[in-house]
Structure 1
Amino acid sequence: MANHMRGTSAKVEVTIDLVAKSAGVSRATVSRVMNGSAKVSPERVRAVKKAIAKYNFTPNATARRLAGGQSGLVALLMEESSEEFFQNPFWGEVVQGFSAAITDAGMHPLLLIRPKSGTEESLFSTLRAGQMDALAIFSWHRPMKSFEKLLDPKMKVVLGGDLGGSKNFPFVDVDNIKGGYLATKHLIDLGCRNILTITGDLKLQSGRDRLDGYEQALKSSGLKINDDLILHGDYTQAKAESLVNRLISSKVKFDGVFAGNDLSAVGAINVLMKNGVDVPRKVKVVGFDDSPIARHNEPSITTIRQPIRELGAEVAAMILALLDGQEVENKVLDVKLIKRDSTSIK
């Protein structure tokens, strides 16, 4: 966002940063005042408007988009059931990070939740009718190649996650392999030798990568991979509960659990405790996400923290860069092990 001051012998570039500095506020506050997208105190509104008038500032990037016939709509598309979206706190944080960044840039976020049973024809007719300028895609459960062929080549697209290694669209992801490794290695360091994993949806790259990290940790510690201890989940609590119930009934022994996400960890803990298995004395459990349920569960859940809100915001930032004609590169965000009661004996 920049223009140049008139009436001076040398052109001075006027940016949103200069306006923010003059008004004594942040860039985000300047954007909110211009967009009317959030409550700002009257004093700050006056300061920002005074600085805008002083420098004759206009948000050129947005102006260029509108002048080019763009709608200002940016869609976030995910292929999930309504139950998964509303029950999994992960998605709420992703959407918040994405929406705030898009809104602060003077554009309009639009959320599209597509059921896994939906047809691609109905999806693309919706996208065409909506005249979207750009599209962010999360949690896509189908082959990307067929999807890529149906997209308008002029559409700016960014993937939330490495959705099967697309070569046509950039992505922002977290280091899922590292996360799976850290979770499993933590259990090994605590003495666990028969470690169960409840995978995420293996149609998703995140599920495959976390399983890869689990297997790498076992191999690096000299432990064998036992197929009986790899349960194919789908990131839901209900599926995790069903799988662990079945495993307990089959008398397979395990002393540690790496769950593909925090909801799956909650499911595993619920079943273990109902069957009289003490967590963490008998079985230790690690989740993935560091969503609010990991902190509030009893026992609180040791987990892999991924920067969920930042993930949504970074996808939005990449989309905005593409819309402004910039080149972008794939980005992978770091993860961290957060230790809590589900692996700690007090």
Structure 2
Amino acid sequence: MSMKKGSLTLKDLAKIVGVSPATASLALAGDPRVNVKTRQMVEEAARRLNYVPNEIGRSLRAKKAETIALIFPNTPHNAFSHPYFVELLEGVTEVLVQNGFYLMVSTAPTEQDEQAAYDKIMMNRRADGIILWPASINDSNISRIVESGFPVVYLGRWHHNDVITVERDDFGGAYLATEHLLQAGRRNVAHITGPLEYQVSIDRLEGYKKALEDYKVLYDPSLVVTGDYTMESGAAAIRELLKRGVSFDGLFSGNDRMAIGAMKALHAAGIRIPEDVAMVGCDNMEMASMTTPALTTIHQSLREIGRVAATKMILLLTGQEVGAKQTTIPAEIVVRESSTSHVKV
């Protein structure tokens, strides 16, 4: 029987030998449940007919999917629309490709969908390990995964040290941003936070407070407004501060999107940046360099976070020494025109 090499299916092979496809599959995997005679018949036929098992069948037998799942839990914004996503993806992919692993991306809009997605990945071994983007601190699914014993690298801070994590220095970044404004002589520095059920928002608020404390400036809660990381919430925060008659000459925004929204609202109110209000954002997204004035912001390399996380995962899966379980990628400030006062003539 002449067959093109590689075109023979498991079903064909089973039919030729006279066994079920399931038995043929187990026989090729060397499963002890199949008697030796049958196994030899199947192996012999496979050799004779140049049967090439397909990747899925082989990976299921080996119980190694050679795939890493990158999971974005339900987040306040669609992960794909966030500029960070691409950078993180590039960092992760670079390492996986070098090591012959595939990448699977999973996003879930609600906690219920999220639980189903995780169960599928873990129970069915769709992936060998999970790189997990932080969810809300109230999300119970996250604890379940991180503590399930399944190989996980968490992209945030975890509350006990045996979990492998890679995180941004959100506290340090916020400290740098606030310090920069204080060093520029600003004394009433407002802060627009992200949603406070996210650790990143809490850490940035804490970094802001610590810088004020170190510079002997009293923390004033009326200068803090909560946003949701969208441009519109940044604009709304400025309108709220102005409506309340709160006086501020500096502004640290929890991300660049809110900073850009805030900038628009300040322009609309005839407030000059940086003369009247000096501004710093956070994320260093591409758009930050294109605003007028260009936005001073905090840079945290998501590409580096992706690379480090993927490297730790490969080491974990190949039984090598992971090294430091917790890694923090430092933040740096990128100074542009929005925070440096022009010389007034």
Task: Assess same fold via TM > 0.5.
Answer: yes
Q: Describe the SS at the equivalent of 2:259.
A: helix
Give a deviation string over 1:126-157, Cα, whole Å, max 9, x none. 32346210001113114466533356845210
Q: Which residue is 1:196 aligned to?
A: 190
**1:93/1:227 Cα in 2 relative to 1: closer, same or farther (>3 Å)?**
same
Q: Which residue is 2:170 aligned to?
A: 176
- Counterpart AA for 2:152: V
Deviation at 1:299, TM superposition (A): 1.5
- Counterpart AA for 1:337: I
Query: TM-score of the superposition, structure 2-length normalised?
Result: 0.75
**1:235/1:133 Cα in 2 relative to 1: closer, same or farther (>3 Å)?**
same
Q: Which residue is 1:228 aligned to?
A: 222
Q: Which residue is 1:277 aligned to?
A: 271
Q: Describe the SS at the equivalent of 1:109.
A: strand
Q: Which residue is 2:207 aligned to?
A: 213
Q: Which residue is 2:335 aligned to?
A: 339
What pairs with 1:305-324 in structure 2 (closer than 5 Å)? 305-324=299-318
**1:132/1:149 Cα in 2 relative to 1: closer, same or farther (>3 Å)?**
same
- Whether the aligned pair in 1 keeps the contact of 2:111 and 2:139 (CA below 8 Å) is no
- Whether the aligned pair in 2 keeps the contact of 1:80 and 1:139 (CA below 8 Å) is no
- Whether the aligned pair in 2 keeps the contact of 1:288 and 1:305 (CA below 8 Å) is yes
What percent of counterpart residues are identical? 28
CA distance in 1: counterparts of 2:115 and 2:168, whole angstroms: 30
What pairs with 1:250-265 in structure 2 (closer than 5 Å)? 250-265=244-259
**1:231/1:327 Cα in 2 relative to 1: closer, same or farther (>3 Å)?**
farther
Aligned match for 2:117, one of 104, 107, 123: 123
**1:175/1:226 Cα in 2 relative to 1: closer, same or farther (>3 Å)?**
same
Deviation at 1:233, TM superposition (A): 2.2
- Counterpart AA for 2:212: L
Q: Which residue is 2:153 aligned to?
A: 158
**1:223/1:112 Cα in 2 relative to 1: closer, same or farther (>3 Å)?**
same
Deviation at 1:203, TM superposition (A): 2.0
- Counterpart AA for 1:333: I
Deviation at 1:238, TM superposition (A): 2.1
**1:87/1:271 Cα in 2 relative to 1: closer, same or farther (>3 Å)?**
farther
Q: Which runs of 5+ in 2 are unaligned?
A: 1-58
Q: How many residues align?
A: 281
Deviation at 1:286, TM superposition (A): 0.3
Aligned Cα root-mean-square deviation (Å): 2.3
CA distance in 2: counterparts of 1:108 and 1:191, whole angstroms: 51
CA distance in 2: counterparts of 1:234 and 1:99, whole angstroms: 29
Q: Describe the SS at the equivalent of 1:182.
A: helix
Which segment drifts farther, 139-148 or 171-180? Answer: 139-148
- Whether the aligned pair in 2 keeps the contact of 1:289 and 1:308 (CA below 8 Å) is no
Give a deviation string over 1:295-342, Cα, whole Å, max 9, x none. 122221101111121111111111111101134321011111111011
CA distance in 2: counterparts of 1:147 and 1:309, whole angstroms: 23
- Whether the aligned pair in 1 keeps the contact of 2:146 and 2:154 (CA below 8 Å) is no
- Counterpart AA for 1:180: A
**1:85/1:238 Cα in 2 relative to 1: closer, same or farther (>3 Å)?**
farther
- Whether the aligned pair in 1 keeps the contact of 2:74 and 2:114 (CA below 8 Å) is no
In the alignment, structure 1 residue 330 sits paired with structure 2 residue 326: yes
Q: Which runs of 5+ in 1 are unaligned?
A: 1-64
Query: TM-score of the superposition, structure 1-length normalised?
Result: 0.75
Deviation at 1:269, TM superposition (A): 0.7
**1:87/1:273 Cα in 2 relative to 1: closer, same or farther (>3 Å)?**
farther
Deviation at 1:165, TM superposition (A): 2.2
Aligned match for 2:180, one of 176, 182, 186: 186
